[in-house]
Amino acid sequence: MEKLKYERPFIKKLNAGLMNKFGTRTEYTPHTHIDGVAVKELVAKYGSPVFVISEKQIRRNYQNAVRAFKTRYPKVQFAWSYKTNYINAVCNVFHQEGSWAEVVSGFEYQKAKGNGVPGNKIIFNGPDKTVADLELAINDGAMIHIDHFDELYELQELLTRLNKKARVAIRVNMDTGIYPMWDRFGFNYESGQAWNAITKIMASDNLELTGLHCHIGTFMLSTAAYGVAAAKLSDLAMNIKSRFGKIIQYLDLGGGFPSANTLKGSYLPGADIVPSIDEFAEVITSTLLNYGYKQDELPLLILETGRALIDDAGYLLGSVLATKRLSDGRRATIMDFGVNILFTAFWYDHKISPAQEFTHHTEDMVLYGPLCMNIDVVRESISLPLLNKGDQVVVHKVGAYNMTQWMQFIQMRPNVVMIDVNGNPHLIRNKETIDTLHDMEVLPDYLKKFEL
């Protein structure tokens, strides 16, 4: 006689006050395939855990964002934010689509250069640029976005010494009505600091002020703040023109558009409260178009959108290591991935789906990672089917920041796979091994021997 399909025995108290689950099946509808490739196959071939990136989704996101802005404004350029995900394969998908590069450190700069991005299409942001970094950027004709006065003076000295000129912009911070206000980067608008920096640049022979830059926050849920930012940058651009007769070539509105992830503590799911790219585009472009620029003096609009273009193209596949019951009766499920590679678990309640079919019974549980560290919690509370050891899950919307902020801590970093537009998986970053670690280490001779 053929045996029946097994499910672990389960009993649940009916509670009048608890959140009911009717209709919430989307949370635990099995997600068995990514772009047509079976999760089971991916895990068999590349191991567990493994990051999977959908090239198709990246291109779809990018083309949608470009459409949203270009149908509203004549001159638009995106620059891929390297810090969001700087795996070369990912960067190059964006570059193939026409995106420039936006970097915030010397090594990111070299990565962009190594990928073949011409210097004059690299935007160099951030508070930490070494003299060597700046020299490289000057020689390549990159767009250097100055963050503070120390950098401004250093750059001037360097240019005098090299007898060269540089294309620069300043980063401006400002009150856009949102809280907290990011005033630690760049020069403040309201206090006149930004204008002071502009005056100094305009007085310098070897600095050419080509643009103005701002980046008002992260995971911004308010479109109005971008309207304020566009207006304040435009105000500076207009003043520069009337005072110095200089036409600013571009306004860089930075990044900060949210993805559809759900922030911890948010009552409604991210997908319901996050404004669309079109809504941001509408506010920004209508502010610029109505500001009173002459048609031929409209600045190029640069956007450094990162998260909103890559987050939902990334998945993390993982497996159940064990299930147990905590002292207070709650179910705990231990996964083979944790905050070491899913850094964004600190910010988001990630959507997690099982990768195989289950019955309709679900259980509230804590999802832990594999680290022997108490902070390693993936979800404090989630309702999932009756998972067993070896079952697989899919974590959604993990494309942004995880593959850059991941830690090599207790566990090594796993494989990263990209599924191309035809549904073929490609390994784009090898999992780390013990050699990855040892290659970096130097053991002094006198420490090589010991007896126990």
Closer CB to other proteins, 326 or 375, in the complex: 326
Least distance to other proteins from the beta carbon of 264, Å? Answer: 12
Closer CB to other proteins, 118 or 177, in the complex: 177
- Name the one range near other proteins by CB under 8 A: 22-30, 140-148, 308-316, 403-411: 22-30
CB 211 within 8 A of CB 248: yes
CB atoms within 10 A of CB 145: 27
Least distance to other proteins from the beta carbon of 263, Å? Answer: 12
- Name the one range near other proteins by CB under 8 A: 98-106, 142-150, 249-257, 268-276: 268-276
Which one among 163, 205, 296, 329 touches other proteins, defined by CB under 8 A?
Answer: 329
Cα within 13 Å of Cα(320), Cβ side:
23
Task: State yes or no: residue 422 binds other proteins (CB under 8 A).
Answer: no
Q: Which of 167, 107, 101, 104 is nearest to 139 (CA)?
A: 167
Least distance to other proteins from the beta carbon of 7, Å? Answer: 6
Under rule CB under 8 A, which residues in 32-51 are in contact with other proteins? none
Least distance to other proteins from the beta carbon of 34, Å? Answer: 19
Which one among 14, 440, 442, 443 touches other proteins, defined by CB under 8 A?
Answer: 14
Least distance to other proteins from the beta carbon of 178, Å? Answer: 10
Which one among 132, 163, 203, 267 touches other proteins, defined by CB under 8 A?
Answer: 267
CB 257 within 8 A of CB 293: no
Amino acid (one-letter) located at 3:
K
Amino acid (one-letter) located at 326:
L
- Name the one range near other proteins by CB under 8 A: 3-11, 79-87, 99-107, 373-381: 3-11
Rounded Cα distance between 305 and 280, Å, is 11
CB 103 within 8 A of CB 143: no
Q: Which of 188, 156, 190 is nearest to 170 (CA)?
A: 188
Give 401's DSSP letter. Answer: S
Rounded Cα distance between 210 and 166, Å, is 10
Task: State yes or no: residue 268 binds other proteins (CB under 8 A).
Answer: yes
Under rule CB under 8 A, which residues in 298-327 are in contact with other proteins? 325
CA angle 130, 133, 138 (to 5 degrees): 125
Rounded Cα distance between 79 and 128, Å, is 19
Pairing mode, strands 207-213 and 166-173: parallel
Task: State yes or no: residue 13 binds other proteins (CB under 8 A).
Answer: yes
Which one among 271, 407, 410, 437 touches other proteins, defined by CB under 8 A?
Answer: 271
Amino acid (one-letter) located at 12:
K
- Name the one range near other proteins by CB under 8 A: 21-29, 221-229, 274-282, 423-431: 21-29
Closer CB to other proteins, 11 or 447, in the complex: 11
Closer CB to other proteins, 101 or 178, in the complex: 178
- Name the one range near other proteins by CB under 8 A: 121-129, 267-275, 302-310, 424-432: 267-275
Least distance to other proteins from the beta carbon of 324, Å? Answer: 8
Task: State yes or no: residue 27 binds other proteins (CB under 8 A).
Answer: yes
Under rule CB under 8 A, which residues in 161-200 are in contact with other proteins? 179
Phi, psi of 86 (to 5 degrees): -110, 25
Rounded Cα distance between 94 and 78, Å, is 9
By residue count, the chain amounts to: 452
Under rule CB under 8 A, which residues in 201-220 are in contact with other proteins? none
Rounded Cα distance between 82 and 318, Å, is 26
* Residues 136-155: x where in contact with other proteins by CB under 8 A, - otherwise, as a string: --------------------
Cβ neighbours for 306, distance < 8 A, ≥ 6 positions apart: 80, 81, 83, 84, 85, 255, 400
Q: Which of 372, 417, 365, 427 is nearest to 391 (CA)?
A: 365
Closer CB to other proteins, 5 or 294, in the complex: 5
- Name the one range near other proteins by CB under 8 A: 13-21, 149-157, 374-382, 408-416: 13-21
Q: Cis peptide leading into 269, omega within 30 of 0?
A: no
Under rule CB under 8 A, which residues in 366-395 are in contact with other proteins? 386, 388-389
Rounded Cα distance between 184 and 127, Å, is 10
Task: State yes or no: residue 245 binds other proteins (CB under 8 A).
Answer: no
Which one among 24, 120, 381, 424 touches other proteins, defined by CB under 8 A?
Answer: 24
- Name the one range near other proteins by CB under 8 A: 225-233, 242-250, 269-277, 302-310: 269-277
Rounded Cα distance between 119 and 112, Å, is 9
- Name the one range near other proteins by CB under 8 A: 9-17, 163-171, 192-200, 340-348: 9-17
CB 130 within 8 A of CB 106: yes
Interface residues toward other proteins, by CB under 8 A: 3-17, 19-27, 179, 265, 267-269, 271-272, 325, 329, 359, 361, 386, 388-389
